Structure 1
């Protein structure tokens, strides 16, 4: 199923409303003027609200699945329909807003 490709300016949150930003977007491919994010790019998470429990808050995140047919630099691009995980909690990242003009399968 086609889904929007994630990019540097996309709004991605951890499951506890922490802001996630890609650390290494792929600068040679742009969508809506922003570099795309591939599965190889880790995310840094800031402001995770999981602080009142004995579990540590989300610190980093990683996309596990993305596009099957669209690659950037030989690596699949991350899509809004892909699966992800936050470390150390194991909860998913939530892509809320991304560009809608370029879809990938």
Structure 2
């Protein structure tokens, strides 16, 4: 259980790159900010990850294996703060940091 995520939540890959949703859900807003749903990927910018040889291999996108179990908008599961995504191509965890604290889901 966690608070519903919006486009205002900070989302980071395990290396510190910042992720942004590619398709926020415009039908539901919290505090004037659109919520985000599970299927559309996030794009990651500023990931500093390097291979052992020193070549850049940044995280470029994030996918969410699951979302809220009981909350949906337009047939898609909503994302909650604390949900863990997976970065592509590195497979490290992507975290949604806490944001709004008015609406909770599970």
TM-score (norm 2): 0.90
Q: CA deviation at 1:52?
A: 5.4
Contact in 1 for aligned 2:82/2:95 (Cα 8 Å): no
Q: Which 4+ runs in 1 deviate beyond 2 A?
A: 51-55
Q: Equivalent residue for 1:33?
A: 32
| CA RMSD, Structure 1 to Structure 2 (Å) | 1.4
In 1, the alpha carbon distance for the partners of 2:98 and 2:47 equals 18
Q: Please tell me whether Structure 1 or Structure 2 has the larger radius of gyration of its CA atoms.
A: 2
Deviates more, 1:73-82 or 1:11-20: 73-82
Per-residue CA deviations over 1:43-101 (Å, capped at 9, x if unaligned) read 01000010354472100001111110000111110112323100000011122232111
- Aligned residue pairs: how many? 104
Contact in 2 for aligned 1:45/1:59 (Cα 8 Å): yes
1:24-103 to 2 correspondence within 5 Å?
24-51=23-50, 53=52, 54=55, 56-103=57-104
Contact in 2 for aligned 1:39/1:76 (Cα 8 Å): yes
In 2, the alpha carbon distance for the partners of 1:6 and 1:63 equals 13
Aligned residue for 2:34, secondary structure, equals strand
Q: Equivalent residue for 1:21?
A: 20
Deviates more, 1:54-63 or 1:73-82: 54-63
TM-score (norm 1): 0.91
- Consecutive unaligned residues of structure 1, counting only runs of 5 or more, are none
